[in-house]
Amino acid sequence: MRTILRILIAAFLGWHLGLLFAHFAAPWFLALAAASGWIGGAVTRRLRWFVSLALAVLAGIGVLFLMTIVPQWLAGHGPSPLDTIPLWADRQLPLALIPFTWFWCEAWLCSGRDNRRGGERLSHAAAVILLFWSQGPYHITIYPHPLEFALAMSLFLLAELLLALEPIRIKKWVRPLAAAAGLLVLLLGAGAIWGLFIRYQDQSTASGGGLMKPDLFQFDFAPLIRLEDQISLGDNLVLLYREEGTPRTRYLRRMVLDSYNPATGFSIGKGKVPVIGRLPLHYPAQKGVQERTLVAQEYYLVNLDPSSLLTLNQPVAVNPYAHWNQSSFVNAYRVDSLVSSDSLWLYNDLTGDGLSPEEREYYLQGGNDPEIRKLAESMTVGAKTPYEKATSILLTLKDHYYYSLKPGPPGPRGALKHFLFENKKGYCSYFAFGMTLLLRSIGVPARIAVGFVTNPEDSVLGFTPVRAFQAHAWVEVPFGPYGWLEFDPTSETPAPGENFQVPRGTDPQVLSKLIAEILDAHPHPLALNKNGPATQQDDSFSMGWGGLLRAIPLLLLLMVVLANETFRTRWFWARLLIRDPRKLWAIYWSRLVSQSRRYGDGPALGATPESWSAQSPQDEALASLAAEVSRARYSASVPSAPTPLQRQTFLDLERQRFRRQPRHRRILTSLFPWWHP
């Protein structure tokens, strides 16, 4: 039972390492690596440490061989699905070495040794701290739902509790009570963690302008939008946007929120959050392509999740760009979209939305509130077509409502009704929520789009910087053959008494540096690589001279560490490689002399073993070893090698001299074996 629990704990921690670095490795593969490492360490725990380490290295080489050489051998010369396995392994194996090595060492040190249970618990605690250190306040991102996170952590804590209580003998009649107590702890822990996670999620979204949340390294949009009572505007540069022609205001869509729940708000429903990888994407032909022009866009992501796909409505093709040396961007790609040509006279005459009965019912969710319907009818008096109704509601919200970063508490009627009927102030989410439900209440399908809105006045050489505070929500309405069209109802009039300032512009030096980098790199899509089809080298930052220069400090540090450890283990390798008994005695004695001199307790230069032992007549062990060394050195017959007891005596003498040193000297001499106090 305890073995199964330990393997599950190792797999749990490996899985969470994969969740933390989902862009680099598969969680299941890291979980398998962690479990395999623990099993390997437990199986070899009775072997010497260097034998166990050698077996671990052989196991890693074997896995590498199986995942790189064998698939190519099986695939032969023709194309095969197995051809991609080596590329997949190249991404997985480097990160998989961390949990594999960690749990191999832990199992070798702790499994089967009851006196080391505390070390095992400390190892797991250190792993949890390292995994969740970056998941601090408002940064928990590895789980999509708080209940999953709460249950997973509670199961982990329960497994640790069972392992900690394993040595305690419990009477039979107490076991059911202990099981009930464990279940209660599990439920209470899940509830507490769930509550904390919800608070983190709420505060994260509020601090991200009501739309965005901080991720591990970058920002991204929250999949569920709530109406906050107060938000703040961030000033981080998120991306650079470019398209040909005169800069104009554009709505860069990240995702669509079409599902509505009165208790939670708008969220992702029928569709999925679009993501971008390293392969081109082509979208099938869709309805709603009339009166649209093809617009090519370029996105250079600076501080946004690299997998975030932004497009103008409606995307046709996506081509990732090949990376270049020393790039300042986490990702770059080109999107071709069919964009509405603003043929208002055509939209105004249209009476149908082009949706099926099922789709129409879906996009009318939440439109059954009679109070909101009455308000919508008052806003659309005289409007006949869907376009006229949408325009009437948009103009009413823009002209009679106010923009505010502090809408205030929602009150007993809820945030949306408080906004529509009472204080009439809010930020973009309030306006998008309000217009969408107003339209749905009078039978006009609508949905919410979130992303960024660009400011053409900030453009430099065709590049438009986009910052965090430009995260925006707007409304989309279907118009049959013309597709979904954007409506932005957010008012530009500040609420009375509020004086907020838009954050200052991007640093001109930073902006000019980024633009110059793009112009010098001449980025091109992977599919249009000038050297031919996209290759594996295009899938990551190529090394080149720039990459080599960046790697020099790391290589120097690695060389220093290797030199330090080589010097530390020089006696070990000498004892391992030399078989002559005379030389073995000389090696053991030389190590004792060298270590003693480091601590100021060694013999003078040229002193014989007997003369050194005579300086400490009370040290019988030293005198005994000195006599054996002299006998091995000068005897005519071949001496025998040091016995295990004699080797232990050498070690005890070194430890005695080490323990006499002050603590700071012990630390320094342990870290730096070449340092002499």
CA distance 9 to 163: 10
* Residue 64 sits in the same domain as residue 121: yes
pLDDT in tens, 599-614: 777 888 878 888 888 8
Question: Which has the higher per-residue pLDDT, 78 or 405?
Answer: 405
Tokens representing residue 424 in the block: 């009439």
Residue 278 in contact with residue 332, Cβ under 8 Å?
no
Choose one of 182, 207, 232: the last residue of a domain: 207
What lies within 8 Å, CB to CB, of 513 at 6+ separation is 328
* Residue 398 sits in the same domain as residue 465: yes
Look at residue 307 and tell me whether its pLDDT is greater than 50.
yes
Choose one of 463, 485, 516: the last residue of a domain: 516
* Residue 319 sits in the same domain as residue 197: no
pLDDT in tens, 616-661: 777 888 888 888 888 888 888 878 888 888 888 888 888 888 777 7
Which of 213-222, 493-502, 512-521 shows the lowest mean pLDDT across its residues?
213-222
CA distance 582 to 480: 95
Let me know if residue 540 belongs to a domain: no
pLDDT in tens, 662-672: 777 777 777 77
User: Nearest-CA neighbor of 466 among 249, 207, 278?
Assistant: 249
CA distance 84 to 92: 13
* Residue 164 sits in the same domain as residue 245: no
Burial status of residue 633 (CB atoms within 10 A of its CB: 0-12, 13-18, 19 or more): middle
- 471 bridge partner residues: 452
Let me know if residue 280 belongs to a domain: yes
Q: What is the pLDDT of residue 538?
A: 39
Residue 250 in contact with residue 486, Cβ under 8 Å?
no
Distances (CA, A) of 617 to 541, 611, 612: 67, 10, 9
* Residue 273 sits in the same domain as residue 313: yes
Q: What is the pLDDT of residue 208?
A: 47
Q: What is the pLDDT of residue 267?
A: 84
At residue 660, the 3 state secondary structure works out as coil
CA distance 314 to 304: 22
Tell me which range, 123-132, 377-386, 537-546, 646-655, is most confidently predicted by mean pLDDT. Answer: 377-386
Segment 107-118 shows an average pLDDT of 77
Q: What is the pLDDT of residue 302?
A: 87
Q: What is the pLDDT of residue 545?
A: 40
* Residue 631 sits in the same domain as residue 490: no
Look at residue 251 and tell me whether its pLDDT is greater than 90.
yes
What lies within 8 Å, CB to CB, of 48 at 6+ separation is none
Let me know if residue 182 belongs to a domain: yes
Look at residue 215 and tell me whether its pLDDT is greater than 50.
no
Burial status of residue 595 (CB atoms within 10 A of its CB: 0-12, 13-18, 19 or more): buried
pTM of the full structure: 0.54
* Residue 179 sits in the same domain as residue 251: no
Residue 331 in contact with residue 226, Cβ under 8 Å?
no
Residue 218 in contact with residue 304, Cβ under 8 Å?
yes
Let me know if residue 310 belongs to a domain: yes
Q: What is the pLDDT of residue 221?
A: 60
Let me know if residue 314 belongs to a domain: yes
CA 521 centroid distance within chain: 28
Q: What is the DSSP letter of 296?
A: E
Which of 241-245, 285-289, 331-335, 645-649 shows the lowest mean pLDDT across its residues?
285-289
User: Nearest-CA neighbor of 40 among 106, 136, 137, 90?
Assistant: 106
User: Nearest-CA neighbor of 37 among 69, 63, 1, 19?
Assistant: 63
Let me know if residue 396 belongs to a domain: yes
Look at residue 531 and tell me whether its pLDDT is greater than 50.
no
User: Nearest-CA neighbor of 282 among 335, 223, 226?
Assistant: 335
Look at residue 137 and tell me whether its pLDDT is greater than 80.
no
CA distance 250 to 208: 21
Segment 377-399 shows an average pLDDT of 94
Look at residue 539 and tell me whether its pLDDT is greater than 50.
no
Residue 266 in contact with residue 227, Cβ under 8 Å?
no
Question: Which has the higher per-residue pLDDT, 189 or 504?
Answer: 504
Let me know if residue 526 belongs to a domain: no
pLDDT in tens, 113-134: 766 777 787 888 888 888 877 6
* Residue 69 sits in the same domain as residue 142: yes
Residue 453 in contact with residue 250, Cβ under 8 Å?
yes
Place of tokens 């009039």: 493
Q: What is the DSSP letter of 421?
A: I
Which of 215-219, 416-420, 486-490 shows the lowest mean pLDDT across its residues?
215-219
Q: What is the band of 546 on the pLDDT scale with cuts at 50, 70, 90? A: very low
Distances (CA, A) of 305 to 27, 60, 329: 19, 32, 11
Q: What is the band of 218 on the pLDDT scale with cuts at 50, 70, 90? A: very low
Choose one of 516, 532, 563: the last residue of a domain: 516
Residue 367 in contact with residue 373, Cβ under 8 Å?
yes
* Residue 128 sits in the same domain as residue 229: no
Cα–Cα–Cα angle for 57, 63, 66, nearest 5°? 140
Segment 94-99 shows an average pLDDT of 85
Let me know if residue 560 belongs to a domain: no
Look at residue 354 and tell me whether its pLDDT is greater than 50.
yes
In what helix (H) or strand (E) does residue 655 lie, and over which residues does it extend? helix 644-659
What DSSP assignment string belongs to 507-549? PHHHHHHHHHHHHHH---BGGG-TTSS--GGGGS---HHHHHH
Segment 9-24 shows an average pLDDT of 82
Residue 332 lies in domain: 219-516
Mean of per-residue pLDDT scores for the chain: 79
* Residue 269 sits in the same domain as residue 183: no
Segment 277-295 shows an average pLDDT of 82
147-171 core/surface letters (b: 16 or more CB in 10 A; e: else): eebbbbbbbbbbbbeebeeeeeeee
Q: Which pairs from 174-182 meet CB under 8 Å and 24+ separation?
A: 182/158
* Residue 380 sits in the same domain as residue 332: yes
* Residue 233 sits in the same domain as residue 170: no
Give the count of domains, the chain.
3
3-state secondary structure 585-615: HHHHHHHHHHHHHHCCCCCCCCCCHHHHHHC
Q: What is the band of 400 on the pLDDT scale with cuts at 50, 70, 90? A: very high
- 478 bridge partner residues: 484
What DSSP assignment string belongs to 208-277? TTTTEEE-SSSEEE-SEE---S-------EEEEEEESSS----EEEEEEE-EEETTTEEE--SS---B--
